Amino acid sequence: MSKVAIGRVDEVKSGQPNKFEVAGVGAIAVYCVDGAYHATADECTHGAASLSTDGELQGFTIECSWHGGKFDVRTGEVLGLPCTEALKIYPITVEDSMLFISLDG
């Protein structure tokens, strides 16, 4: 796996979705919940909605405002219809106040 720096921890607003553009990947959504960071694909699997722009975070659940689909930001698991396909997740780490995601090689 390769590790990519995506930004600083102070760029992430806790309790809401945050958008980061990653070269070679595109947009990802980053969430800070209870001091832990999580990263998923930014696009809802049901439509082309941006979860960081159009989503609402409640605890570990991100809800797409377009059709009400819900996902667990820790696992990408679908929690609510009409979504049936899980979100891609990216393992995320913090090193010296920088956020890194791991990509499949």
- Segment 11-55, tens digit of pLDDT: 999 999 999 999 888 999 999 999 999 999 999 998 889 999 999
- Segment 54-86, tens digit of pLDDT: 999 999 999 998 888 999 999 999 999 999 999
CB atoms within 10 A of CB 49: 18
pLDDT band at 105, cuts 50/70/90?
Answer: very low
Report the pLDDT value the prediction gives residue 37, as an integer from 0 to 100: 97
**Which residue matches tokens 């722009």?**
53
Architecture of domain 2-103: 3-layer Sandwich (2.102)
CB 55 within 8 A of CB 17: yes
CB 55 within 8 A of CB 28: no
Report the pLDDT value the prediction gives residue 104, as an integer from 0 to 100: 73
CB 101 within 8 A of CB 21: no
Report the pLDDT value the prediction gives residue 1, as an integer from 0 to 100: 60
Query: What would the mean pLDDT of 4-14 be, rounded to a whole number?
Result: 94
Report the pLDDT value the prediction gives residue 48, as an integer from 0 to 100: 84
